[in-house]
Chains A and B, each alone.
Chain A
Amino acid sequence: MAGSDRFEKLTLAQVARWLDLHPLEIARMLGTADGGLPADLRFTEQDVDRLRDMSGVETWWSAELPVHDPIRGRALARSLAAYIVGRAEGGDWSSRADNLFRGLEPADQWVVRRAVNSLIVEGALVSISRASGLHVRLGNDGVEILQALADGTNVPESMEALWS
């Protein structure tokens, strides 16, 4: 770290890297916040925490998948379903779409993104546009479809191509 960097605030691009968001996405959010964008576009770590809360950024994935399956792609898809079902207990659930794959390695992200698209096609999930970015919520029978996927009792055919 350069000498001056120790005491300087963060740029919006740096904040975006911290939060794994696009800087224009953060700019849009700041525009809707009280006071809008600051006169000086530099940010403290406290600002980063505030922006993380505003954006709804979460990291679900860790090294250990919640569902074990001999096929990696299917394990990811079933784990994704398990994560959503676990968070959707009240029924009225929505999340930033990128929370569904944040923290995964690129190859695993590729599978999960397509699994999400497949779940949208199946009607289990519905995507919605929000000021803070693209979100998803449960579709009709979403919990049932996701639960069956998590259990491995009914994997949508459209997903099979992801790991076959």
Chain B
Amino acid sequence: MQSESDIILPRVVRALEEVSRWREAQAGAAQARLDEVDAERQRLEADIRDLQGQVETLAELEEQIQAEVAVLPIEETHRTRAAVEAGIDAEASVLIERDEVLAQAIKAREDRVAQLLAQPDMEQLVEEFEQFQELEPTLANLPVGYRKAMLAHHQTVRAQLQPVMDAAQAPLAQADLPTEAVTIIASLNPAQGRPEALAVLLPVSFETYQGWADRTEDLGALVAYRLMGAVGATLQAVGASDASVQFADYRGLLAIQVWLGDQEVQGDLKEVFGAQIDRMRDEALELHTVCLELYTAWLDPRVVAASDDDDDTDLGDEDSHVEPDAGALTGSAMLEG
């Protein structure tokens, strides 16, 4: 009896079986590759999900950074304003310190005059000098001889008093101090193009304007006069002599506001104002006396405009202009009550 292995299959059957084995082998191999592909796809899909998550995170980060960039100008304005306010407060203190120096220089000049007046016979000379001043308007009524005699005597008295007059009118002595500098904050609104308003903020108390009649004329007052003169000269130079000027209280400091909306400004107002400040720095004797220099810083009007919760210090627009004649800005001004 033949065993199964000894069975001799017909050639065709063997060939077909060979094909069948080949197919099974191929199918197995293909399945293995498909499994690998599937595994790889799943891994890649996981990677994609991971990367997508990273992309979304980056998008959120980008949005956050863009939001920060968007508020940068506002933050810059706040920080600039804080820096300006701290700086100008400090410079107001410098002015107060140097005012004491000015007061000492004035006192020294007065002492010198008093010293001269204390010399013998001086009292009599001063008395005669004052009597002559009272009589001077009536001199023309006197006979020529009397008039000549009185004038001659007056010349003698005047000559003897000349050292006193010279001392009283002498420039103040310059202090031996390091030079300090203070800043005048200026702002044009709008910052570019045809200006509608000029604001100048001084490191000087608002009382210099409001309470001048009850105050001693101090260094702050002199600086305010100089700046007002510079503003007047600037307005004249740019053809806006009659522009309405107002004074505002900016955190207790004095601000000069000029409404230019109804003026035809000619030329570069900033340049002209800068030249006026340079001139003032060169010429103002009181500044030389106390070794003080003034500089101008031009700032964006938003910096000196009020924040939402601080609307009493706005220098930035027309509505902020203050009494006494705020109506001048929009129409016919009314008089202060």
Contacts and interface: CB of A to CB of B under 8 A. Distances in A.
A23 B225 contact: yes
A28 B231 contact: yes
A24 B335 contact: no
Interface stretch (A31-39, A56-64, A147-155): A31-39
Given A6-B126, A22-B212, A129-B243, A29 B232 contact: yes
Contacts of B224: 24, 27
A51 interface: no
Nearest to A127: B333
A146 interface: no
Contact of A27 (B226, B236, B285): B226
Interface residues of B, number: 55
Instruction: Give the bracket for the number of chain A residues in contact with chain B.
Output: 35 or more
Interface in A72-127: 97, 101, 110, 113-114, 116-117, 120, 126-127
Nearest to A129: B244
Nearest to B111: A4
B114 A3 contact: yes
A18 interface: no
B325 A134 contact: yes
Contacts of A40: 171, 285
A12 B232 contact: no
B113 A127 contact: no
Contacts of B209: 22, 24
A112 to B, nearest CB: 9
B212 A16 contact: yes
B318 interface: no
Identify the 7 closest CB pairs spanning chains A and B, nearest first: A31-B232, A31-B229, A7-B168, A4-B113, A28-B232, A27-B228, A27-B225
30 contacts: A4-B114, A7-B113, A7-B161, A8-B113, A13-B213, A23-B225, A24-B224, A27-B224, A27-B225, A31-B230, A31-B233, A36-B229, A37-B229, A37-B280, A39-B283, A41-B284, A41-B285, A41-B286, A113-B335, A114-B335, A116-B335, A117-B335, A126-B332, A127-B328, A129-B244, A129-B328, A130-B242, A131-B235, A134-B333, A134-B335
Interface of A: 2-4, 6-9, 11-13, 16-17, 22-24, 26-32, 36-37, 39-42, 97, 101, 110, 113-114, 116-117, 120, 126-131, 134
